[in-house]
Amino acid sequence: MSDEPDRRKWDPQRLSESLRAAGLGEFDWDFVRDVIRMSALTAEITGASQGERPAQGGEMLRAMLHPDDRDTAPAAVEVQLQSADHYAVECRCVRPDDGRMVWVRITGQRVRDDAGAPIAAAGLVQDITARKDEDDRRVTLMAELDHRVKNVLATVQALAAQTAKRTTSLDNFLQTFSGRLKAMASANELLTAARWRGASVEHLASAELGALAPGQTRWGGPELFLTPRAANALSLALHELATNALKFGALSTDTGRIDLRWSRLVDGGFELVWTESNGPPVTAPAHRGFGSTLLEQVTGRELNGETRVEYRAAGVQALLRAGPAALVERPETMPEAPPKRVVETVTASGGPAELNGARVLIVEDAVLLALELETGLSDAGAVVIGPAYELEEAMGLLDQPIDAAVLDANLNGRSVIPVAKVLAERGVPFVFATGYGEAGGPPIGFDAPIIRKPYDVTQVAAAVAALLQAR
């Protein structure tokens, strides 16, 4: 006979090694002798002594539990044992060796003798501290997200109300309000890239000025990072200044120039100077709109400093001073270079688009946006197909005549590429209407116009009209 061990039999040592590899410590509790034996890994996890020790009727185990779990955990086990001989419970242990708290998951099986009396329990212990910490972080992040969303909604509501009070027509309101929303969206995109730890002044300036009148704007200064609150405030301020410059100031002519410079202050804050030159003569506005109020009152307070706008004959100059509280340290996650300006490849047309009975497919998973698109395109004369809110729903609409389409890039977490491929193969033009920024843009590989959310429906109608005219 061979001296080789029988490989068909399970080696207890191999079982122990397998459990250790899985991070599972063993224990067994002899009710008759009232002793508990803990494996080496169980001892490592709980900080208790390895081997056999008195159970003291379970008091030894109970003493290892966190004070808040000493009653609830045993009670949970008892409830489970009333209907079965096995249990599982998650609770906190306080290590007796170093006082650290660890989360553990304990699973056990009660053992009975031939007469049915409980004589022992055996089970496994797993350290789940990392998972619990991750759960706590997730809960914290969700609460923080909820707070931010409510703040954003409240800000949007205030912007809408204040803009409406100071505009005399619906078209003017939509244009002004849309521009302010896009400024907020740019700031939020930069903050998201940095996990909401801060945004660079350089990046904010690039996002607002990068695509405006190439060659007429320049900006620079030391590396500074703003809090989310200050970043949103500065983004809106730069938007108001740029909008005014495009309408009345330096950017309303080909010769005008804008120079934006910022520097650190001795007190730990910073100063930013906006200077316009070579534009038309400037005079102070007779009517103070919300933009002026936002610049002179809101921005200064949000930056913990002050704002001053001077309407000099040679050009507007704005001075923004921010306190130290507006600045943060460089976030760990940041774009290494200023991002390219996130812009639409379509802008609103000068007048209403005429779609004249064109059959336009709408694929959009946000119901309100889909309804807004349907209304806007119908008003322009289109025959709307859909809207389709899901990928399968959109695919099911492709077997009918379609002249053009408006596609959301993401449909409840699923890519719209299958729809785009079918349309491209059939030669049907389409436009992407997307909320993605530079970090995650619309599907690549398609020569299609892009409109970034939040958008004006007139942009979509203009894009569709342009596509149809180009066919």
Rounded to the nearest 5 degrees, what angle is found at the Cα of 260, between the Cα atoms of 258 and 263? 160
pLDDT at 398 over 90: yes
Helix (H) or strand (E) holding 147: helix 129-165
The rounded distance, in Å, linking the Cα atoms of 466 and 50 is 77
Please report, rounded to a whole number, the percentage of residues in the chain having pLDDT higher than 90: 31
Please give the full DSSP string across 182-216, using - where no structure is assigned: HHHHHHHHHHHHTTTS-EEHHHHHHHHHTTSSTTS
Both tokens assigned to 114: 């031939």
Contact residues for 300 (Cβ-Cβ < 8 A; gap 6+): 306, 307, 320, 321
What six digits make up the tokens of 319? Answer: 């001075």
Structure tokens at 124: 């496994």
Asked if the model's pLDDT at residue 218 lies above 60, the reply is yes
pTM over 0.85: no
Side-chain-facing half-sphere of 208: CA atoms under 13 Å: 32
Cα 421 to Cα 417: distance, rounded to the nearest angstrom? 6
CA distance 35 to 247: 85
Q: Which of 63-72, 305-314, 326-335, 417-426 has the lowest mean pLDDT?
A: 326-335
Q: Tens digit of pLDDT for each residue in 61-120?
A: 888 999 999 999 999 999 999 999 999 999 999 998 888 999 999 999 999 998 999 999
Q: What is the mean pLDDT of residues 246-261?
A: 88
Angle subtended at Cα 108 by Cα 107 and Cα 111, rounded to the nearest 5 degrees: 170
SS3 content of the chain, % helix, strand, coil (to 5): 40, 25, 35
Whether the CB-CB separation of 390 and 411 falls below 8 Å is answered with: yes
Q: What is the Cα–Cα distance from 464 to 461, expressed in whole angstroms?
A: 5
What are the φ and ψ backbone dihedral angles of 367, each rounded to 5 degrees?
-60, -45
CA 296, 297, 301, 306: dihedral to nearest 10 degrees?
30
State the average pLDDT for the chain. Answer: 81
User: Which residue in the block uniquely carries the two structure tokens 């970043």?
Assistant: 231
Amino acid at site 40: A
The arithmetic mean of pLDDT across residues 1-9, rounded, is 51
- Residue, of 337 and 402, whose pLDDT is higher: 402
The fold of the 12-127 domain, in CATH, is Beta-Lactamase (3.30.450)
Kindly report the backbone phi and psi dihedral angles of residue 74, in degrees, each rounded to the nearest multiple of 5, phi listed first.
Answer: -60, -35
Q: Using the predicted structure, report yes or no on whether residue 381 has a pLDDT greater than 70.
A: yes
pLDDT class of 365 with cuts at 50, 70, 90: confident
Out of 3.40.50.300, 3.40.190.10, 3.30.70.140, 3.30.565.10, the CATH code matching 140-328 is 3.30.565.10
Place of tokens 């509790």: 29
Lowest mean pLDDT among 121-135, 270-284, 374-388, 444-458: 444-458
Q: Where are the domains of the chain?
A: 12-127, 140-328, 359-470
The more confidently predicted of residues 335 and 248 is: 248
pLDDT tens, position by position, 232-243: 888 888 888 888
Q: How far apart are CA 289 and CA 162, in angstroms?
A: 9
Looking at residue 302, its pLDDT comes to 82
Point out the least confidently predicted range of 155-169, 347-361, 402-416.
155-169
Average pLDDT over residues 398-405: 92
Q: Which CATH number fits domain 359-470: 3.40.50.2300, 3.40.50.150, 3.40.250.10, 3.20.20.140?
A: 3.40.50.2300
122 vs 183, residue with greater confidence? 122
3-state secondary structure of 306: strand
* The pairing of beta strand 270-277 with beta strand 257-264: antiparallel
What is residue 413's three-state secondary structure?
Answer: coil
